[in-house]
Structure 1
């Protein structure tokens, strides 16, 4: 479930505690669940990263990036100087500094040192669909500079929205979920953005008017920034938690998501309906949108 606001909240939650720490040890946590995808294998990952310093904690779309120093890069025959970890939480992954929801789903632990102070960073994943990769400097640069991802949703300007909409007749909700066109928006926030912009989710993207595109761009910034301020959305399944194992708060502000058959809070006259697009649930108000 983690989308841009939840991942941004994870990044902000761990940044102060993690930046400037030295990696003492990386270990796989004992878990009876399906193994997590770790690239390269844990032994090689530990050999390349232990002893190095985490110099920056960043977000790229729905990914968390732990950038490493490039000390002794010239001495690393495997070319691993610089680079860093890229963590994809996917459905249920969390980055935690505090006690996890349970220990059964702990997957990886970074044991860290800052001065004489020991710290712990964990990746917790209930469904085990997340991934952790250690990239070299070139691979990390390609990811941060674009690669297969579109422009970050928070960085989209009106001409960017116009360009991606004019290039396809796909329904606008489906386009918003295409990470190669605009990065960071997931299913939950796509429904909320289109509702605030008063756009029907099945409208072909290339038929949106200029005012609609402008409203959508503005709604994207408003929704995502508000969700970040409230530290993301914790839904009824309770899987999303912030870095200190606490609920987000933006779920209390959802206008349409997961509110099928309820009265629309915007117009107070329409009833929210649920449809399926690209195998994902879409919620909207037929009267407002």
Structure 2
């Protein structure tokens, strides 16, 4: 599933291509993915996209009056920006026409969707997703993580605590901070919390600079169909059985909250560490 850097890449590119542009027509090939209904999605014809924004893992096309069309890509969704005469893309579900260009929503497994939200519904979504890794303060991060009574890996994946962090970047940040994914949040010392936040910001910004990560399944590509390169810089994610880049211990993987957690048992002991 695309995480913060992948969504950031898509949003940045869409702003360059469609912000200020008018939707000429909409083709709905799979009505089940057009929410709340195909008629409401069709009503966007003739409207200008005022801008494209990010709310956690949601991509938002903003319209006058405060409403927005959100895309949630889930596991296999893609947004592809194509010329009108470009060849077909597999699993195309919705097509938005902007003059000579098209924005195609493609979804192989049909878990993703496009959904129009009213101004009031957008405000509710913002209240849950507007705080993210790029704008959260140290004080707010400390407050939110201390309010949790769970293991740190599960807390980081909670989109209501902080939006946009997923399994990949949680693994990488915990390794950088030398924190075991099964540490209890209430056991984290202030210096560990500060380092965890700094590590999250580091891996998120690195992911953005490399235009996201494209895993072997090739699900994530940018709007031009090009893969990201952050996967070439992973320290632990997907590296089980390989030596730790710091101490040469073997990286292990363990299922935590139904997600694979990759970590170094030597660098990331399940106790507070001493600098």
With normalisation by structure 1, the TM-score equals 0.87
Cross-structure match for 1:75: none
1:281 aligns with 2:267: no
Cross-structure match for 2:60: 65
1:137 aligns with 2:133: no
1:84 aligns with 2:79: no
Runs (4+) of structure 1 exceeding 3 A deviation are: 98-102
Note closer, same or farther for the CA distance 1:102–1:22 as it changes in structure 2 (3 Å cut).
closer
Q: 2:145 touches 2:161 (CA, 8 Å); kept in 1?
A: no
Judge which range, 102-111 or 176-185, deviates more.
102-111
In the TM superposition, what whole-angstrom CA distance separates every residue of 1:4-55 from its partner, at most 9, and x where no partner exists?
A: 110011111221111011111111237xxxx6432121123212x1111001
Shift in Å, 1:150 = 6.8
Residue from 130, 135, 141 that aligns with 1:161? 141
Q: 2:33 touches 2:93 (CA, 8 Å); kept in 1?
A: no
Using the alignment, how far apart are the partners of 2:42 and 2:258 within structure 1? 38
In the TM superposition, what whole-angstrom CA distance separates every residue of 1:190-223 from its partner, at most 9, and x where no partner exists?
A: 0001001110110001100111101100001110
1:122 aligns with 2:122: no
Using the alignment, how far apart are the partners of 1:248 and 1:126 within structure 2? 19
1:178 aligns with 2:158: yes
Cross-structure match for 1:112: 98
Q: 2:236 touches 2:262 (CA, 8 Å); kept in 1?
A: yes
Q: 2:52 touches 2:62 (CA, 8 Å); kept in 1?
A: yes
Q: 1:84 touches 1:134 (CA, 8 Å); kept in 2?
A: yes
Shift in Å, 1:68 = 1.1
Judge which range, 59-68 or 154-163, deviates more.
154-163
Shift in Å, 1:287 = 1.2
Residue aligned with 1:151, SS: coil
Work out the number of aligned pairs and report it.
266
Q: Gapped runs of 5+ residues in structure 1? A: 71-81
Using the alignment, how far apart are the partners of 1:203 and 1:150 within structure 2? 27
Note closer, same or farther for the CA distance 1:169–1:69 as it changes in structure 2 (3 Å cut).
closer
Residue aligned with 1:213, SS: helix
